[in-house]
Amino acid sequence: MSLLVEMNEKAMALGVPLTVHIDVTYRCNERCVHCYLDHDDHGEMTTAEIKNVLDQLAEAGVFFLVFSGGEVFMRRDFLELVEHARKLQFNVKVKTNGVMIHEAEARRLRELGVEQMQLSVYSHRPEVHDAITKLPGSLKRTVDSIKFLKAQGLKVTLSNVLMTVNRNDHKGTQALAKELGIAYTLDPTVTPMIDGNTSNLYLRVDDKNLDQLFADPELVGDVDEYCKPPAPVDDDALEGYSCSAGHTACYISPYGDVFPCVQFPLPTGNVRRQKFADIWYRSPQMQEVRSIKIKDLTVCSSCSHAGTCSRCPGLAYMEGSMRGPSTTDCEKSFHRTGIPSANMLRKASMASAGPLVQILPMTV
């Protein structure tokens, strides 16, 4: 058993918030077409407020801290916040587009002992990447930042979201990551806006693209192993949980709102008005999230994929119920194994049954 797995298991058993993702701002110098955030500033936490929250997180036992946004460097105090976090001994990961990182910023991040930097690149072609970010020259500036960070010896990951507008470019983007000597991740999930607006979902890729992704050994490793049919669902699987959100991880917005996850917009409290530990341990909403096991899911508990699905309770919540299925993850399970999910079979059955109410001709 790896140390990380052991840490997660112990944190789950003890109810410790092992990982916290905090967005320090929603402001951004890019306007990515798929982004789920409102980029206006509605009253971000001050430097002192965020430092106080970090103190509380350390006291609660948090170990992994993810700084993200918006664009983190839109805050002039960002490196001061990272310095405070490192003094508290957090393992720090930073998500950024890198556009505002130059040699001095890269050097300071190395001095502070940041564990990992994750930068978003959507295409190896400037005309595609820059059209997605709506910032001319952004690909070159991001790649330059990656080079600065690498020169400082920092661990860097290139993160790519697969969408209709860049679906033919992921091979080239992966090759760019290899050329730069950094890790590469690809995610075909386009998330609805944080306020529930689904207008950006037209960017989700189609079935053909998913089939190609799951058959690519450079992305999934052993294709036969990755795409094999799910094992029979046993009692252990049904007694488990589908996600760490609210169990060992949570998300804090720039305004102090606490959610189970950045993709799970269920309000559970606000650190401007409450102590973090009070929200984590005593929020009714957080306790409800923790109470839900796979056996309690209305459709998924009867699904053959129940033990292996990447079901996101946040996406399910945005579809109408945190106990319901996440259609996006149902589709991933199907395209990975070729076996329809219980949710897909239910929808097909409902469609074939026709309307539930028969409209009869009026008689006089």
Q: Which residues pair with 258 in a beta bridge?
A: 252, 269
pLDDT, mean of residues 118-123: 98
Each residue's pLDDT tens digit, 297-344: 989 999 999 989 989 999 999 999 999 999 999 999 999 999 999 999
Q: Is the pLDDT of residue 364 over 70?
A: no
CA distances from 50 to 54, 78, 82, 155, 276 (A): 6, 10, 11, 25, 12
Supply the pLDDT for residue 228: 93
Q: Do the beta carbons of residue 88 and residue 64 sit within 8 Å? A: no
48: CB partners within 8 A, 6+ apart? none
- The answer to whether the Cα torsion of 47, 49, 50, 54 is positive or negative is positive
Q: What is this structure's pTM?
A: 0.92
Cα separation, 91 vs 250, in Å, equals: 16
Rounded to whole angstroms, how far apart are CA atoms 305 and 247? 22
- Average pLDDT for 87-107: 97
Residue 167 DSSP one-character state:
T
Calpha distance 269→335 (Å, rounded): 37
| Segment 65-96, tens digit of pLDDT | 999 999 999 999 999 999 999 999 999 999 99
**Cα-flanking dihedrals φ and ψ of residue 66, to 5°?**
-110, 120
Give all strands of the β-sheet with 269-270 in edge-to-edge order.
Answer: 183-187, 156-161, 116-120, 91-96, 64-68, 19-23, 249-252, 257-259, 269-270
Q: How confident is the model at residue 357 (pLDDT cuts 50, 70, 90)?
A: low
Residues 166, 140 contacting (CB under 8 angstroms): no
* Mean predicted confidence (pLDDT) in 17-25: 97
- pLDDT reported for residue 13: 85
Quick check: 359 pLDDT over 50? no
Q: Dihedral of CA 157/162/163/165: which sign?
A: positive
Structure tokens at 324: 């319901």
What is the rounded CA–CA span in Å between residue 284 and residue 50?
24
Q: Is residue 71 within 8 Å of 97, Cβ to Cβ?
A: yes
pLDDT of residue 14: 87
Residue 27, pLDDT > 90, answer yes
Query: Would you state the pLDDT for residue 362?
Result: 46
pLDDT in tens, 129-184: 999 999 999 999 999 999 999 999 999 999 999 999 999 999 999 999 999 999 99
Q: How far apart are CA 155 and CA 145, in angstroms?
A: 13
What pLDDT shows up at residue 197?
Answer: 86
363, pLDDT greater than 50: no
Compute the average pLDDT of residues 121-125.
Answer: 98
What is the number of alpha carbons within 13 Å of residue 141 lying toward its C-beta?
A: 16
pLDDT at 1: 61
